[in-house]
Amino acid sequence: MTQETTGQATEAYRGKRVLITGGLGFLGSNLAGRLVALEASVRIIDALIPGMGGNLCNIDGLQGRVEVAVADLRDPEALVRALDGVDVIFNLAGQVSHIDSMRHPLDDLGINVESQLRLLEACRARTPEARIVFTSTRHLYGRPERVPVDEAHPILPPDVNGIHKAAAESYHQLYHRVFGLPICVLRVTNAYGPRQLIQHDRHGFIGWFIRLALEDREITVFGDGSQVRDFVYVDDVVEAMLQAGLSERCLGGTYNVGGSQPIAHRDLVALLIELAGSGRVRFVDWPADRKAIDIGSVYLDSTRLRQAIGWEPRTPLREGLARTLDFYRTRMACYTAPAPSRWEVA
């Protein structure tokens, strides 16, 4: 992102009333901090479902500078209050565990589809002019037919979570086409960085590997570790969202937000252990439930987003991992406290 466009973002968000759904989670809380710095008026709604990444530690330093509602998007009264007077909605709420979605598909349906449709209906009725940026996922491409994967690739969800994410994305696209809601969809690859959930490995392996390395524990890699992925640092994702929230060109579009350095799992782990100065790796056979929904090597082509708003990832993987490790070294207690999943406490 150029200094010019960053400056434009600073001016454009000053005084804007912004709602972040899922704002106590990883991406949402980093976005909230950036928006506060840009002098926006920030409101967060988050259900704080245990085990899903919402964490009050994520807004340390923002108390009194953001408005927080602990509520579910399926609560009509809470939704009405959250939408009151907003100019921009960053819609990040959702359940991202692929394993949990296969074990509890109806719960995933409620969180990832019903809640999204309720939000869109409420926006249509109350805030039809509010700009909406919906954060989707590269996972809905499934096992790729080709790499890098561009937006024209077939949608082939490998699990229940992917199907529900694809449905939520389709609802957003429909409400733009039919009702004229100003919506942009971003499909984000493997994001990583400070404030990421590291309590368990059900939300992806990168946060879990970071914890294991810092605790000098064994990192288990499935297979031979040759599968390749791309990773994008959270600050770069936030900049993509901020720019998409301003761009007229993005309206009605769907855009990949990918990393710049595809890397094999085994090389990622080696780099992580090197930077942490601790940890070790062991390669094991794939568990049956994980193998059944694995998508192999996949990384994204973000050319469309670069052409639309000039975005590209700026943070090298080594630098981003080093920053992330430094963040958790002084905050591990807050991010490793045991937290059951919603399914375990329901």
**3-state secondary structure string across 195-264:** CCCCCCCCCCHHHHHHHHHHCCCEEEEECCCCCEECEEEHHHHHHHHHHHCCCCCCCCCEEEECCCCCEE
Residue 252 lies in a domain: yes
Tokens linked to 268: 């990622």
- Tens of pLDDT, residue by residue over 28-72, are 999 999 999 999 999 999 999 988 889 999 999 999 999 999 999
Residue 214 lies in a domain: no
**pLDDT confidence of residue 250:** 96
What residue numbers bound the domain in which 138 lies? 3-195+233-259+299-315
Here the CATH number for the domain that contains residue 111 is 3.40.50.720
Residue 202 lies in a domain: no
**pLDDT confidence of residue 204:** 81
Residue 158 lies in a domain: yes
Omega before residue 313 within 30° of 0, cis: no
**pLDDT confidence of residue 346:** 33
Residue 56 lies in a domain: yes
Which residue reads 């709604």 in tokens?
45
**pLDDT confidence of residue 110:** 96
> How many domains does the chain fold into?
1
- Contact (CB, 8 A) for 3 and 24: no
Query: In the chain, which residues have pLDDT < 70?
Result: 1-10, 338-346
Model confidence, pTM: 0.93
Residue 148 lies in a domain: yes
**pLDDT confidence of residue 339:** 53
Residue 203 lies in a domain: no
Residue 12 lies in a domain: yes
